[in-house]
Structure 1
Amino acid sequence: MTINSRDRIRAKLLDGNTFVRILLSHPMHTGRGKNEQDELIPAEFIQDIRCWRNEEEVLVVKCGTATSRNPYFAFQLTGGEVGDKIRLRWVDNVGAKGTAETKVV
């Protein structure tokens, strides 16, 4: 199941390296929180984030319940060129998926 989320991704070339910033839109429920009726909210959190530059996988992040709601990640990739395509995909523990894509500026 793919979610139509408002994930944001930006990539910029600085001093010959690619700097990537990502803001994911996800509730990240731990499974320990309760709603207004004092019932447990089922766990729903991002487990796997993968990033590609052009067609080469360059980053894998494993997340868990300790990751905050709407997580923000920033990282640097060695090298790169203006116009490179940066693509991101995440998968959560209930099978929902999200994607984001940008070009290096």
Structure 2
Amino acid sequence: MAITARDRIRAKLKEGDTTVRVLLAHPMHTGRGKDENGELIPAQFIQDIRCWRNGNEVMAIKCGTATARNPYFSFQLAGGAVGDKIMIRWVDNLGAKGVTETELR
């Protein structure tokens, strides 16, 4: 199944630290839900999310079936400078991938 929606990301410098907000477009099926015909929808969920600042990995998150559809994450990174490149990459259990990036403002 292809994921066609776009992920969204924002990063701001506030009081010397970087605040990153990201909304990932993903259905996050648990494998327990049913479609309109009563058939089980196969599990499809994000397993791994990673964040890089200027090419250096700064964070990794492991997810499972309990994470909501179109998950939203907000987190802070120590330090940062205007113009830093922030990149998020995710991979789901079926091998689908997404990448989004922004510059720190």
Sort the TM-score into its range (normalised by shorter chain): over 0.9
TM-score (norm 1): 0.96
Structure 1 stretches (4+) deviating beyond 4 angstroms?
A: 1-4
Deviations 1:1-27 (A, max 9, x none): 984531000000000000000000000
Match of 2:40 in 1: 40
Counterpart of 2:11 in structure 1 is 11
User: Any stretches of 5+ residues in structure 1 without a counterpart?
Assistant: none
One-letter identity of the residue aligned with 2:31: G
Task: Give the whole-Å Cα distance in 1 for the aligned partners of 2:79 and 2:3.
Answer: 32
Correspondences of 1:1-105 after superposition (within 5 Å): 3-105=3-105
Structure 2: which 5+ runs fail to align?
A: none
Letter in 1 for 2:55: E
Taking only the aligned residue pairs, the percentage that are identical comes to 71
Judged with a 3 Å threshold, the aligned counterparts in structure 2 of structure 1 residues 4 and 91 are, in CA distance, closer, same or farther, namely same
Aligned length: 105
Q: What's the Cα RMSD here?
A: 1.4
